[in-house]
Amino acid sequence: MATFVLVGGAWIGAWAWKDVATRLRAAGHVAYPLSLTGLGERVHLAGPEVDLETHIADVVNLIAYERLDDVVLCGHSYAGVVIPGVADRIPERLNQVVYVDSAPLEDGQAFVDLFPPDALRALREAVDADGDGWKLPFPGTAHLADAASTAGLDPEALALLEAKATPQPWATYTRPLRLSRQGEPTYRRAVVACDDVRSMVAAGIPPIVAMTQAPWRYEEIATGHWPMLSAPEELAATLDRIGRG
């Protein structure tokens, strides 16, 4: 059986993985859902100094202190920036790296680089106006679909997001990813493509299309950008298959 470390995207914490983790454990796996610094139950640790390197250290330290090996490291959305950094620091601890409706960034890129100018300008305005200049507020479920697919999120899931989502420390978006290792990784790589990545594949975006081909393992789920909430049974079953290799 596999050992999963589950890392959520912006605004969410370990709580969002509850149903998926329960199903993975029922299938015989070990699952560690993680709240990054400043998110979820660790919201009290948020501050202007929390950045991408903080979040990479969160995951590295969990794996180190729990003495985990052969880890299947899963990163959703924004965490697609975090997990390449983790893999760069401790590749020997990893069996697979799985991008859940996300994709890896390259050395020197920051998450803000993925946004078109108008969208980035709106984010910066929200940070300045409503986030004290250092945090990105949760936009609210009424505006969630402006940036990503909300397909499959029922009223209960939307209410859960509204109740538990926390602001995202803005420096996690602006600090560039720094990688030191070159060449092909020693661990396997997989992508679980939901509506957002599937649409990029359909649009023929080269780096995303490359993830549909060997040596990548490519899986699809017909649901929105938050599959742990909109399709937890399907996501758990997909991760179970990936974990079994």
pLDDT at 14: 98
C-alpha distances out from residue 38 to 11, 13, 45, 61, 72, Å:
9, 9, 5, 16, 24
Rounded Cα gap, residues 136 and 37, in angstroms: 14
Catalytic choice (35, 77, 102, 230): 77
Instruction: Give the model's confidence band at 192: pLDDT under 50 very low, under 70 low, under 90 confident, else very high.
Output: very high
pLDDT at residue 184 tops 90: no
Confidence grade of residue 245 (pLDDT, cut at 50, 70, 90): confident
Inter-residue contact 171 to 48 (CB < 8 Å): yes
Q: Can 77 be counted among the known catalytic residues?
A: yes
Structure pTM?
A: 0.97
* Contacts with 125 (C-beta within 8 Å, 6 or more apart), sequence order: none
> Where do we find the tokens 């859940």?
100
Q: How many residues does the chain have?
A: 245
Q: How large a percentage of the chain has pLDDT more than 90?
A: 96
Q: What is the CATH architecture assignment of 3-244?
A: 3-Layer(aba) Sandwich (3.40)
pLDDT above 90 (res 147): no
DSSP single-letter state for residue 67:
T
Q: Is residue 95 within 8 Å of 71, Cβ to Cβ?
A: yes
More confident residue, 147 or 220: 220
Q: What is the mean pLDDT of the chain?
A: 97
Looking at residue 180, its pLDDT comes to: 94
| pLDDT tens column, 50-89 | 999 999 999 999 999 999 999 999 999 999 999 999 999 9
pLDDT recorded at residue 153: 98
Confidence of residue 150 (pLDDT cuts 50, 70, 90): very high
Is 80 exceeded by the pLDDT of residue 183? no
Task: Work out the average pLDDT over 212-222.
Answer: 97
